[in-house]
Structure 1
Amino acid sequence: MTDKRRTPASADEPTQPIPRALIDTLDDADEDQAGLSVWTTAQVSPATQRRGKYTPESTAHPAKMLPDVARHAIEHYTKPGELVLDPMCGIGTTLVEAVHLARRAVGVEYEPHWVAVARSNLELAREQDIDHDAHVIQGDARQLVTLLPQEYVGQAALVVTSPPYGPSTHGRVAVAPSEGIQKYWHRYGSALDRGNLANIGHHRLLAGFTRILAGLRTFLRPGGHIVVTIRPWREHSELIDLPAQILACGRAAGLIPAERNVALLARAAETDLVARGSFFQRDFISKQREAGLPLHLIAHEDVVVFRTALHSKVTPFSATVAELHSLRGRSRNMGRAA
């Protein structure tokens, strides 16, 4: 079902409906695309979405989830008082949005720095009189079953998360007189830390994320949902179809694919989408166009939604190295075709 609601805008960005042409395209989609839905999650800028709810240190994270994406998922798939989980919570966006919506929340984060930032954001919510039950645990999400307390087993109504994008993140920009434009805060921790999923290569990232998805089944209630926000990216101008790969990872982990949605990263104006690209995205696109490759700024993220079975029977974890190798090969072939 297409989401045709209007989202409040800031004073300098008037409220706009989703373009009619986009709605018509979705309405005319093939039967296997009938579940596609558009989430208007960028009607206001990311800075406006975070204003007042996140500490200044939060802006440094290289791949922050849009608060309105997490908020939409939480409102749609849970009720007040229910538990929301994020196994790779970063600055705690999922948790912060959950507590502001009167949900309980728990997150796991690998890097100690971002654990501290996520806890600061939850403390900021408490200072704003948001009395909440939310916690951040430091550790490797591939070890969820041993990391999370038993009290959470079978309790989560929803998981909202996103895999790390590794070298495709953009970070922040500084200009030095003698050094030109420099990136900073554009990596997840040290590149030498092989315990970090962002630093272990694409194939091992898929295997690790499959393991995380399998572990989440222990903590989700029957019929609970997992919302994964992901986007394709180009590596040496070759398309990496990460959304399709994550769908396969979920199936291998014993989850049931339920929906594939679109979360807009661009504002939906009356007749078009107004992209919100970073400096590096715009620079990359300009150079590729000059070289003859007609690329465009990314205007959306895919939102893949899984659910657990409606009964408590556990499906065996069936991911294999051969399956993931095959999946990666198909993705690269698609990239060459594109």
Structure 2
Amino acid sequence: MAGVTTSVWATGQRQSRVQRRGRYVPESMQHPGKMLPSIAARVIASYTQPGELVVDPMCGIGTTLVEAAHLGRNAAGVEYEEMWARLAVANLGFAQKQGASGVGRVVSGDARNITSLLPDLAGQAALVLTSPPYGVATHGHIRSTRDTGEPGVRKWNHHYSTDRGNLAHQQLPALLEGFRRILAGCTELLRPGGVAAITVRPYRARGELVDLPGHVHQVAEDVGLVFADRIVCLLCGLGYDRLLNRASFFQLHEARKAWARGLPIHAVAHEDLLVFRKLDEPRPGRRHALADGCEVE
């Protein structure tokens, strides 16, 4: 595809919990589907300039917003679940106490209606950075027999929504339609030439591999965004002579079970970052507008 570049970023050199330690409030670890801070920071530094606006329509605990604020960008996020929205506000406040110069704003609401939630930001964003949901539960945290000395595995912090209205509860066709609505709204928030960056990985449903990156690519093009870059964001670390495994207990467990059945599947070692651009002609008279502060609206 003409003009599309492919790169590899070493974003897994430090474990996720190490990247968050001292930078996010401890309660942030309750969310089971957090974006890797190193990915967010690298995207923001690569595609925006200080003082520009970054938007995350499904901001969770605010990783995109926090990394934007630390890099001197302003940020706005939407989060469906109020408990996570409040944690995003807490993390933004924590970032400001640490000297982050960017300001942030969080709205609790349904991002499928993002243009009505953030009407003053139409045509303002330099970057939209987000990730679609993978379901209502992920691996979360575990204690295995090796840790406790007791048989079985105990899981916690692996559910992030019990609200059936959350997009994460939907089957793939409805999920993609909801994400299409979100991206269409985000395209209206982007300035001409602005970037939409989506982190996404394939997943398995009943043993079958679902090409979520491919589906998301099609959805983005359906709303008029133009594919620009594909970046492989490593979740594993790069050692001197070997890869440093960052796969979760459950990824490794599922891979071992599959190999025992004769299915040579592997633990996920990277996340796709799909980068698109809005290519509309600039509209005159636009000014940057972002309300100061970190309140849930």
Segment drifting more, 218-227 vs 39-48: 39-48
Aligned partner letter, 1:216: C
Q: CA separation of 1:306/1:45 partners in 2, compared to 1, >3 Å: closer, same or farther?
A: same
Mapping of residues 289-300 of structure 1, within 5 Å: 289-300=259-270
Residue 103 of structure 2: aligned partner: 133
Amino acid in the other structure paired with 1:105: A
The offset of 1:132, in angstroms, is 3.2
Q: Does 1:157 align with 2:126?
A: yes
CA distance in 2, matches of 1:51, 1:135: 23
1: CA distance between counterparts of 2:166 and 2:40?
A: 23
User: Segments of 4+ in structure 1 off by > 6 A?
Assistant: 31-34, 176-179
> Which structure carries more relative contact order (alpha carbon 8 Å, separation 6+)?
2
For 2:227, what is the secondary structure of its paired residue?
Answer: strand
| Distance in 2 between residues matched to 1:115 and 1:214, nearest whole Å | 22
Distance 1:179 1:231 in 2: 32
Give the root-mean-square deviation of aligned CA atoms: 1.9
Cross-structure match for 1:189: 161
Identity over aligned pairs, percent:
49
Q: Is the 8 A contact 2:60 2:84 kept in 1?
A: yes
Residue 325 of structure 1 aligns with which residue?
Answer: none
Following superposition of structure 1 onto structure 2, how do residues 260-271 of structure 1 map, counting pairs within 5 Å? 260-271=230-241
Whether 2:216 is the aligned partner of 1:240: answer no
Counterpart CA distance in 2 for 1:108 and 1:123 is 16
1:226 aligns with 2:193: no
Q: Please list the CA deviations of residues 250-288 of structure 1 after superposition, one character each: whole Å capped at 9, or x if unmatched.
A: 011111111111101011234443220111111111111
- 1:180 is displaced (CA, Å) by 2.7
Letter in 1 for 2:124: Q
TM-score (structure 2 length as normaliser): 0.89
Partners of 1:300 and 1:32 lie apart in 2 by: 24
Post-superposition Cα deviations, 1:272-310, rounded to whole Å, max 9, x if no partner, equal 432201111111111111111111111100111111014
Write the letter of the residue equivalent to 1:200.
Q
Listed as ranges, the gaps of 5+ residues in structure 1 are 1-30, 314-338
Q: Kindly provide the CA deviation profile for residues 86-116 of structure 1, in whole angstroms up to 9, marking residues without a partner as x.
A: 0000010000000000000000000011011
Q: Which amino acid aligns with 2:66?
A: V
Report if the CA contact (8 A) 1:206-1:246 is conserved.
yes
CA shift, 1:33, in A, is 9.6
Distance, in Å, in 2 between the alignment partners of 1:96 and 1:116 is: 13
C-alpha separation in 1, matches of 2:10 and 2:39: 9
Q: How does 1:46-57 map to 2 (within 5 A)?
A: 46-57=16-27
CA distance, structure 2, for counterparts of residue 48 and residue 260 of structure 1: 26
Q: Is this contact kept in 2: 1:275–1:297, CA < 8 A?
A: no
Task: Give unmatched runs, 5+ long, in structure 2.
Answer: 284-297
- TM-score for the superposition, normalised by structure 1: 0.79
1:106: which partner in 2? 76
State whether residues 119 and 136 of structure 1, in contact with CA within 8 Å, keep that contact through their aligned partners in structure 2. Answer: yes
